[in-house]
């Protein structure tokens, strides 16, 4: 899988923080039932790698990516867990080089012209724009002129209410959203609520 396929799989990518790896498989099945085919599981909890491993093994119909990669060691761990794609909030030369050398489906974060240029120098033209809501749609749109080859997945402050606004931007292909799989739904094991949110997101 490459990032082109990830972007093409759906206009909304759920961004999920899991405290219990046992929730990973029913969560992924709920997303899939709602029409979502990708999920980014953030490496913010000790359960994250086991969660990615479980989804990759038991729900292969959904591409389980690893988010919040901060260094090549995180990339190593996520790759070993079977992640289908890899996402970082920003970028570093070391991360860009490691992902490029391995030919991974990597989505580096970039929010300035200098960061876009660095990503392009390493062969990455599909980028994560973070944090999208605080920096604003006008900032993203302004990059379309000097960087026509760059396509964004915008994350950070994306809600049910503003997702369509970001998706309407000429250089945005998809958004990352944390409201699809909420902490409250996970705590309650409310898979029906997650499926309903997924169905709404898949229809955007």
The rounded distance, in Å, linking the Cα atoms of 26 and 129 is 29
Q: 20: left (phi > 0), else alpha (psi -120 to 50), else beta? A: beta
Q: Which of 81, 125, 77 is nearest to 100 (CA)?
A: 125
Catalytic annotation on 115?
Answer: no
The rounded distance, in Å, linking the Cα atoms of 14 and 2 is 18
Catalytic annotation on 40?
Answer: yes
What are the angstrom distances between the C-alpha of 34 and each of 50, 62, 89, 197?
A: 23, 12, 27, 8
Catalytic residue among 5, 61, 115, 128: 128
- Preceding omega of 182 cis (within 30 degrees of 0): no
**The token pair that represents 115 in the structure block:** 């960061």
Catalytic residue among 40, 58, 61, 195: 40
Beta pairing partners, 175: 12, 154
How much is the CA Rg of the chain, to the nearest whole Å?
16
Annotated catalytic residues are 40, 128
């Amino acid at each position: 899988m490459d990032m082109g396929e990830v972007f093409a799989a759906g206009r909304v990518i759920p961004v999920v923080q899991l405290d219990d790896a046992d929730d990973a498989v029913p969560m992924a099945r709920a997303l899939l039932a709602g029409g979502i085919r990708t999920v980014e599981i953030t490496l913010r909890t000790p359960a994250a790698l086991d969660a990615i491993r479980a989804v990759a093994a038991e729900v292969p119909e959904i591409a389980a990516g690893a988010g919040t990669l901060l260094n090549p060691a995180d990339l190593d761990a996520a790759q070993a867990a079977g992640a289908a794609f890899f996402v970082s909030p920003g970028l570093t030369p070391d991360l860009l080089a490691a992902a490029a050398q391995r030919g991974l489906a990597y989505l580096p974060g970039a929010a300035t012209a200098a960061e876009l240029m660095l990503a392009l120098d390493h062969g990455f033209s599909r980028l994560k724009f973070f944090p999208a809501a605080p920096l604003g749609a006008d900032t993203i749109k302004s990059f379309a002129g000097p960087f026509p080859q760059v396509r964004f997945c915008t994350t950070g402050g994306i809600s049910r209410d503003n997702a369509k606004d970001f998706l309407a931007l000429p250089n945005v292909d998809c958004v990352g959203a944390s409201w699809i799989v909420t902490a409250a739904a996970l705590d309650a094991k409310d898979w029906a609520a997650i499926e309903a949110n997924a169905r709404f997101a898949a229809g955007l």
